[in-house]
A and B are shown apart, each in its own frame.
Chain A
Amino acid sequence: METLIKFFKQSGTTLLFLFLEIMALVVVCNNLAYQRSVFGRVSTVLTAQANAVTTAATEYLGLRLFNNQLVEENAALKEEIEVLREELVRLHAAEKDSISYEFLDSLPHTPITEYITAKVVYNTINQRHNIVIINKGSADGVMADMGVVNTQGVVGVVQSVTRHHAVIISALNDLNISGKFTRNNFLTSVMWNGKSPLFGHVENIPRHMAPQVGDTITTSGYSAIFPEDVPIGIVRKVTQNSTTAEYDAVIEWSTSFGTLNYVHVVNNANREEIKQLISENQEEEEEK
């Protein structure tokens, strides 16, 4: 017994060190990858409020850039209005010809995809697992697993929400975004390897696909997380694997993650339905 007490007295510091270090490492391991961005509710609010101070101070610095983005978006919207107007004219013409009012009325009126606009209050790009926190939460209709985009392209997926804030796993994380090559609609998955926040990666593209520098990759729209045709990036470099002859491509993100300011959370009205269908299907397969 005495020797035990003596041992504790002598190596108390080392034991305390080991205890604290192991505690810290357990916390690190429990917060790997996806779980890492699941904040405790308290700390999300704390972090958001602490960062609101810096955001308030730096908001004005980005105004010029943000203004340009707004102008671009305005232009795109105007274009869309023109297209829709033409469509309307065509429909009116068609109405006079053969399409019945009943048919036109039966078309869905409510848009499938709605956007919730939110301001970024916290954003990292230099970690291995980056997250974004926005100032809209469950009170505004934001829910976990919703996609997030901005005017440039995809941003990430909502991980967890509190009442007035939401944590987003940015594309600069362990996120696989389902995308397609616009040139031939070839489906693929875009990843990030943790190096530069400017570039993403597409791996194991089959030989017959032969990706080219300059190819555009957009979202596929198959997952109900992102709508179709949101830009992901542009192929900047293509390398061929010498053993499998498959291609790997480096893509430049369309989104500049360093200057995120306002983002749009995608609320797909059919999201729950599609998710349910997918999970039912998986259960059935497991039963088999």
Chain B
Amino acid sequence: MRDNINIALRAICYLLIQVLLLNHIQLFGWCGIYFYVLFILSLRNDIKPSALLLIAAAYGATLDVFSGVYGIHTAATVFVAYLRPMVMKLFVTQEQMEKGDPSLKEYGAAYYYYALTLIVVHHLTLYLLESLTFVNFGFTMLKALSSIGITALIMVLIEKIKKSWRKQ
């Protein structure tokens, strides 16, 4: 129960930061920041895949409503939630998985591979759905890549901070 409240609170924090702050920031005038996906990446391992999908759908839909675009964030987030267990298996060993929940501290470098793969999947889905066309494909990719870079940077920062806090 306490864990569930914890997850809900974290979701609200991520959503508030994304909606109230980051949705208004466009680096260089065209590069959006979509760090909210990190919430899905950091969820506990013992959540069932089907529950993960439902959480992701609700989370994405909330963001859609507040961002003024319908369905795009939901589609991308649900896709990430679906791929998460597979990507996890790909990079993280069974031992590590049993040791603890996704974080740099528990998984080491494997966490970076895992997180980066899912961030890339998420952002590509998001940008392709948003443009819904292959016209200006190069520019869409440039936007997606720079967003991926920034989200990855935020991910590394959060993990480093979490790691140093736990040490103390």
Listed by A's residue number, 18 A-B pairs whose Cβ atoms lie within 8 Å are A13-B49, A13-B50, A14-B82, A17-B78, A17-B79, A17-B82, A21-B75, A24-B57, A24-B72, A24-B75, A28-B70, A30-B70, A50-B66, A54-B21, A122-B68, A126-B30, A127-B130, A193-B135
Q: Check B74–A24 contact: CB distance below 8 A.
A: yes
Q: Check B136–A20 contact: CB distance below 8 A.
A: no
CA distance A271 to B136 in the complex (A): 37
Residues of B within 8 A of A23 (CB): 74
Flag B74-106 by CB within 8 Å of A: 1 or 0 each: 110011011000000000000000000000000
Flag B39-61 by CB within 8 Å of A: 1 or 0 each: 00000000001100110110010
CA distance A126 to B20 in the complex (A): 16
Query: B74 touches which one: A27, A32, A122, A194 (CB < 8 A)?
Result: A27
Q: Check B19–A20 contact: CB distance below 8 A.
A: no
Residues of A within 8 A of B132 (CB): 28, 32, 128
Q: Check B70–A36 contact: CB distance below 8 A.
A: yes
- When A and B form their complex, which 10 residue pairs have the shortest distance between CB atoms, in order from nearest? A27-B71, A28-B71, A24-B75, A24-B74, A17-B82, A31-B70, A13-B49, A126-B26, A24-B71, A20-B78
CA distance A250 to B96 in the complex (A): 55
**Does A12 belong to the interface (CB within 8 Å)?**
yes
Chain A binding surface SS class: helix
User: Which residues of chain B from 3 to 28 have a CB within 8 Å of any chain A CB?
Assistant: 19-21, 24, 26
CA distance A47 to B66 in the complex (A): 5
Flag A111-134 by CB within 8 Å of B: 1 or 0 each: 000000000001011111101010
Query: B130 touches which one: A21, A24, A128 (CB < 8 A)?
Result: A128
Q: Check B129–A124 contact: CB distance below 8 A.
A: no
Query: A126 touches which one: B31, B60, B65, B81 (CB < 8 A)?
Result: B31
Residues of B within 8 A of A54 (CB): 20-21, 24
Minimal Cβ-Cβ distance residue in A for B25? A126
Q: A126-B26, A194-B136 are in contact. Are A16 and B53 (CB under 8 A)?
A: yes
**Does A262 belong to the interface (CB within 8 Å)?**
no
Question: How many residue pairs between the two chains, A and B, have CB atoms under 8 Å in the bound complex?
Answer: 101
Q: Check B65–A43 contact: CB distance below 8 A.
A: yes
Q: Check B29–A28 contact: CB distance below 8 A.
A: no
CA distance A278 to B70 in the complex (A): 33
Q: Check B71–A13 contact: CB distance below 8 A.
A: no
Q: Check B68–A124 contact: CB distance below 8 A.
A: yes
Residues of A within 8 A of B31 (CB): 126
Residues of A within 8 A of B66 (CB): 43, 46-47, 50
Q: Check A47–B68 contact: CB distance below 8 A.
A: yes
| Nearest CB on A from B157, distance (A) | 23
User: Which residues of chain B from 94 to 120 have a CB within 8 Å of any chain A CB?
Assistant: none
CA distance A286 to B54 in the complex (A): 49
Residues of B within 8 A of A47 (CB): 65-66, 68
CA distance A73 to B123 in the complex (A): 42
Q: Check B131–A12 contact: CB distance below 8 A.
A: no
Flag A92-127 by CB within 8 Å of B: 1 or 0 each: 000000000000000000000000000000101111
Q: Check B71–A126 contact: CB distance below 8 A.
A: no
**Does A66 belong to the interface (CB within 8 Å)?**
no
Residues of A within 8 A of B49 (CB): 13
Q: Check A125–B78 contact: CB distance below 8 A.
A: no
Q: Check A195–B139 contact: CB distance below 8 A.
A: yes
CA distance A12 to B60 in the complex (A): 21
Query: B29 touches which one: A17, A21, A58, A197 (CB < 8 A)?
Result: A197
Q: A12-B50, A194-B136, A195-B139 are in contact. Are A39 and B19 (CB under 8 A)?
A: no
